[in-house]
Amino acid sequence: MAKKKFVVGCFDDEAVLFPAVKKVRTAGYKIHDVYTPFAVHGLDHAMGLRETSLHTAGFIYGITGTATALSSISWIFTKDWPLNIGGKPHFALPAWIPIMFELTVLFAAVGMVLTFCYLCQLAPFVKKHHFHARATDDLFVMVIECTDKTNTDDLQAFLTSNGALETKVEVAEDGWWLGRYDKDEMPFEENQIVAA
Amino acid sequence: MHLKYESQLREPLVYGDKTYKQVTEDIVRPIEAKPTKLWYVGFYIAVALLMFGVYSVYREVTYGIGEWNLNKTVGWGWDITNFVWWVGIGHAGTLISAILLLFRQGWRTGVNRAAEAMTIFAVMCAGQFPIFHMGRVWMAFFVLPYPNSRGPLWVNFNSPLLWDVFAISTYFTVSLLFWYSGLIPDFATVRDRAFTKLRKRLYGIASFGWTGSTKHWQRHESLSLVLAGLSTPLVLSVHTIVSFDFATSVIPGWHTTIFPPYFVAGAIFSGFAMVQTLMIIVRKVFAMEDYVTIGHIEAMNKVIVLTGSIVGIAYLTELFMGWYSQNKYEGYTFWYSRAYLFSPYGWSYWGMMACNVLSPQIFWFRKMRRNIFVTFFMSIIVNIGMWFERFVIIVTSLYRDYLPSSWSVYYSPTIWEIGFYAGTFGLFFTCFFLFAKYFPVIAIAEIKYVLKTTGEGYKNQMANIEEQKLEEFVHEHAHH
């Protein structure tokens, strides 16, 4: 994937971040993403992201599970090998409810987690560019994608005036690749002394 | 944007004047520090127990099920008692993480991670018992329904024992997924502040390349909510199905419709007791009293007194029905084999009553609910009581049934049966020690999410807001 140019602004308070997101969008800049240490409710709306349909996928996986259980058990017990169990009916629906329920949950859960990982491109050994190491700690990192016309100095000043503590320009890949994290910067090396 | 305001009347969930940074520091500290001597001692004891368990299981697999003292009528003894006991313990984690999430109980954030880990390890321990109870354990795969060369001979889908296979394996899988999906962002936090290459690499792999993107968080929230919604009926179904193992039989003392709710309440009861045992140690050893507060412990004690009393009512209902049904076999089981103190197993019934029904009543007193020592002691008592409950149900119903000629001799376990049980303790604590050392034991991201609403430092700032007029408050805070 080609490298792109980004302007990065870091905020330390979500109360400052929200108005900043609003202003940056009204000013016509394209927000690439905002990286936050936890789920900030309402930020997706503020950024204009659409709702996720992950739960719909979960519903479809769930009914697939129900259907799988019902169809396989009924085929096995009425067609493939009609086993006489205490003279009870071969099509013993009430007795199948537990397994139908369990498979519904199993399919929905496994399917949703896999879909989640696929959509977010999450997997072991996957590496992505990190705009700021503290984005998973205590900073809210707003990343704005630059076009040919973007004046980065103006944009950085604009971010600072809106409460950004730190701004920088970075050229980075925006996709993912297979890689390791051990070559990354280690800004917390002083922890070692604290920890020992 | 939601209102970042919560009444001061509510106890803070995070003590101290914390910042986001401080939260990370506090929770990641034990991972980055060298393990203490105490940790090594505990870990080696756990591994030693595990080794003893492995040897006990080796004996059983090599010489057969005769290594245990099971006999003609007591076909389920310690093994299934331990299975039900461990599965029961495995219910608190999902209850805390799923049901309390749906009920919007903020205090779950402090304990959910460790409780979910406990769930997973407990279910791992539970699974060993029915598997090795099969005797010919190398044929355990016969429980899987697949087109096979034996006919194909299918499993019996109408059997509660097979429902159990599906229930326990689904429960394990879903709990693991729920737990791990919550861990991904926290592993990323550990990764990004790691100071050795090995740490960066391993936590890099474990964190799946998490960045904290808003879109990913949005999906993550949706995933957690739906997984919670799925796990809620799941957790109720699992112990319901375990109780079906008994309730669908015709054995006196098992053949009752009260079993599903009674088992589920008992599972929550014992699970919370185990969470208390573990969290009281963890918060002390890792200095996390600010996150797992006395308020958390009190909340869990309230659940314990509630579920303990539900279990108590179930015991009394059973006794009443033993008489009211006028069924002499039921009457004999409940009023002689169990409730009569001087019958061969009467001691276990009264041990159960004392531990599960009488002693938790102490938690009606606020002072006792908030006392660490009382709580720790009671958490052990409750788990002993809940072990006795399963032992009572299984053994007192089996050792004397319809025909006096088939009554069995007194059942007591062999050293290898006890060793197997001890071994699962070893497995459980080995896993838990490793978890406590290498995993964030408290959900970092979730604590940060509730910090500004329920953190002590932030709540104190709300004092002047509480004195504000309503109109002013709305004017200032209710925009968006």
B248 touches chain A (CB under 8 A): no
On the question of pLDDT at A193 being above 70, the answer is no
Let me know if residue A32 belongs to a domain.
yes
DSSP collapsed to 3 states, A59-101? HHHHHHHHHHHHHHHHHHHHHHCCCCCCCCCCCCHHHHHHHHH
Mean predicted confidence (pLDDT) in B395-417: 88
pLDDT value at residue B108: 85
Under the banding of pLDDT at 50, 70 and 90, the label for residue B175 is very high
B250 touches chain A (CB under 8 A): no
Under the banding of pLDDT at 50, 70 and 90, the label for residue B393 is very high
B424 touches chain A (CB under 8 A): no
Let me know if residue A125 belongs to a domain.
no
DSSP collapsed to 3 states, B153-165? CCCCCCCHHHHHH
Q: Buried b vs exposed e over B275-308: b needs ≥16 C-beta within 10 Å?
A: bbbbbbebbeebebebbbbbbbbbbbbebbbbbb
How many domains would you assign to chain A?
2
- Per residue in B91-110, pLDDT (tens digit) is 888 888 888 888 888 888 88
On the question of pLDDT at B257 being above 70, the answer is yes
Angstrom distances, CA of residue A147 to CA of A4, A144, A172, A176, B38: 9, 10, 14, 21, 57
Judged by average pLDDT, the poorest of A6-20, A160-174, B5-19, B277-291 is B5-19
What is the C-alpha to C-alpha distance for residues B437 and A70, in angstroms, rounded to an integer? 44
- Per residue in B427-438, pLDDT (tens digit) is 999 999 999 999
- Per residue in B308-338, pLDDT (tens digit) is 999 999 999 999 999 999 999 999 999 999 9
Same domain, A47 and A135: yes
Let me know if residue B213 belongs to a domain.
no
Unique residue bearing structure tokens 């997997």: A123
For residues A8 and A170, is the Cβ–Cβ distance under 8 A? Answer: yes
B181 touches chain A (CB under 8 A): yes
Same domain, A66 and A100: yes
For B:117-146, CB contacts with A below 8 A are: 145
With pLDDT > 70 as the criterion, what percentage of chain A qualifies?
93
B113 touches chain A (CB under 8 A): no
- Among A105, A140, A176, pick the best mutation site for testing chain B contact (most B Cβ within 10 A): A105
- Per residue in B192-241, pLDDT (tens digit) is 888 888 888 999 999 999 999 999 999 999 999 999 999 999 999 999 99
For residues A39 and B184, is the Cβ–Cβ distance under 8 A? Answer: no
Structure tokens at B188: 């990323």
What is the C-alpha to C-alpha distance for residues B452 and A110, in angstroms, rounded to an integer? 33
Let me know if residue B302 belongs to a domain.
yes
Q: Are strands A176-178 and A126-128 parallel, antiparallel or unpaired?
A: antiparallel
Range(s) of the domain holding residue A83: 54-119
The interaxial angle of helices B20-32 and B160-192, nearest 10 deg, is 110
Let me know if residue B171 belongs to a domain.
no
Let me know if residue B109 belongs to a domain.
yes
Strands of the A140-145 sheet, one edge to the other? A30-35, A140-145, A3-11, A166-173
Under the banding of pLDDT at 50, 70 and 90, the label for residue A192 is very low
Mean predicted confidence (pLDDT) in B344-348: 93
pLDDT value at residue B480: 52
Same domain, A47 and A58: no
Under the banding of pLDDT at 50, 70 and 90, the label for residue B276 is very high
Q: Buried b vs exposed e over B225-263: b needs ≥16 C-beta within 10 Å?
A: bbbbbbbbebbbbbbbbbbbbbbbeebbbbbbeebbbbb
Mean predicted confidence (pLDDT) in B385-400: 93
Let me know if residue B205 belongs to a domain.
no
Structure tokens at B298: 């009190």
Q: pTM for the whole thing?
A: 0.92
Under the banding of pLDDT at 50, 70 and 90, the label for residue A148 is confident
On the question of pLDDT at A161 being above 50, the answer is yes
CATH number for the domain spanning A24: value is 3.30.70
Contact A37 B145 (CB under 8 A): no
Same domain, A61 and A34: no
Range among A57-61, A155-159, B91-95 rated most confident: A57-61
Mean predicted confidence (pLDDT) in B13-21: 85
Mean predicted confidence (pLDDT) in B340-349: 93
Let me know if residue B194 belongs to a domain.
no
Beta bridge pairs of residue A71: none
Residues of A in contact with B174 (CB under 8 A): 105-106, 109
Under the banding of pLDDT at 50, 70 and 90, the label for residue A62 is very high
What is the C-alpha to C-alpha distance for residues B451 and B4, in angstroms, rounded to an integer? 10
For residues B283 and B442, is the Cβ–Cβ distance under 8 A? Answer: no
For residues B83 and B165, is the Cβ–Cβ distance under 8 A? Answer: no
Contact B223 A54 (CB under 8 A): yes
How many domains would you assign to chain B?
1
Same domain, A41 and A136: yes
- Per residue in A97-108, pLDDT (tens digit) is 999 999 999 999
What is the C-alpha to C-alpha distance for residues B95 and A145, in angstroms, rounded to an integer? 43
How many CA atoms are closer than 13 Å to the CA of B357, on its beta-carbon side? 15
Nearest in space to B273 (alpha carbons), one of B348, B378, B366 = B378
Let me know if residue A126 belongs to a domain.
no
Same domain, A65 and A110: yes
Nearest in space to A56 (alpha carbons), one of B438, B114, B222, B190 = B222
Bigger pLDDT: B431 vs B474 = B431
Residues of A in contact with B20 (CB under 8 A): 12, 37, 137-138
pLDDT value at residue B149: 83
pLDDT value at residue A196: 35
What is the C-alpha to C-alpha distance for residues A74 and A92, in angstroms, rounded to an integer? 8
On the question of pLDDT at B352 being above 90, the answer is yes
For residues B78 and B413, is the Cβ–Cβ distance under 8 A? Answer: yes
Range(s) of the domain holding residue B52: 20-140+246-456
Residues of A in contact with B21 (CB under 8 A): 137-138
Let me know if residue B468 belongs to a domain.
no
